[in-house]
Structure 1
């Protein structure tokens, strides 16, 4: 998927039957997401969903850097992938598939996800890739320098506990951090 495919995917998949009426607004939301894209950021996965208090559907977009909730007429709600500590997918009778995401920026909930299992797996893969890419390649400074090492270790532990990092990825990232 690239940015040029995003408008078509939002119109066809995320906005459903009334896509023809909403296409200009969906295209506007996609262009806004592309305009706000970070250097090197590319879309990874897209699904339709509703925000916790929304009746109409929007789109949930995973990029290589962020998770974005796009809703017509509203600015995107970005959640950096490296700040996500917990991802949970549940099925409920009332709300359908519900995705709960806990991040350093707060907790988020989206309901009625379409293709939820596939989307959630792509989200978890994108989180693992973002964390791996952001892990330092040079030795970490000694723990006495501002406590940054402790913060990074706590973040890695939270990602491991949430399932975003498996045991091998966690051990490798921790080893990189502890190398002097």
Structure 2
């Protein structure tokens, strides 16, 4: 499946009458910011809290992109992702939360959120292994790196970007 097919699938999920045109705009946007060797892995539809209408969530081997109406994509680097969860709410449907060392991201009314979250977790683990330069599972981070990650995690928690539960779960994953 090539990039055009994947984005067209995502916009078809959106139910947009001009799915092909929106998909082509999204393809141009993705190709403009794509890293060398970056290929799409999965796509679904969802809504970012800052946007009223739905957009496409496109997962690549390097990051998660939120695309909407040809606007610049909202990227989430997967190598820095520490937690991916799905919660169900009455108002916002299935909510996908991606916590990364660069910040916390929330996507609402996500189509098939749990399977998509599983794909994100798998791709994020692979991205971390790749960034560590190892083809085998990465070893525990060095103490200095671990301290930096814990400090950033505490800052996110202190800023209110993470709940107590998310903070505790992510901290436990980092510590091992």
Cα deviation for residue 59 of structure 1 reads 0.7
Cα deviation for residue 155 of structure 1 reads 7.2
Which of 60, 64, 71 is the matching residue for 1:63?
60
Q: Where in structure 1 are there 5+ consecutive unaligned residues?
A: 138-147, 171-180
- CA distance in 2: counterparts of 1:135 and 1:156, whole angstroms: 15
Alignment partner of 1:150 is 2:147 = no
Cα deviation for residue 95 of structure 1 reads 0.5
Cα deviation for residue 151 of structure 1 reads 4.2
Alignment partner of 1:49 is 2:42 = no
Tell whether the 8 Å contact from 1:26 to 1:72 is kept in structure 2 after alignment.
no
The aligned length equals 152
Cα deviation for residue 35 of structure 1 reads 2.7
Tell whether the 8 Å contact from 2:45 to 2:56 is kept in structure 1 after alignment.
yes
Query: Alpha carbon RMSD of aligned pairs, Å?
Result: 2.7
Higher CA-based Rg: 1
- CA distance in 1: counterparts of 2:133 and 2:70, whole angstroms: 38
Question: What residue is the counterpart of 1:143 in the other structure?
Answer: none
* TM-score for the superposition, normalised by structure 2: 0.75
Q: Where in structure 2 are there 5+ consecutive unaligned residues?
A: 135-140, 154-168
Alignment partner of 1:10 is 2:3 = no
- CA distance in 2: counterparts of 1:131 and 1:74, whole angstroms: 28
* TM-score for the superposition, normalised by structure 1: 0.73
Cα 1:68–1:130 change in 2 (3 A) is: same
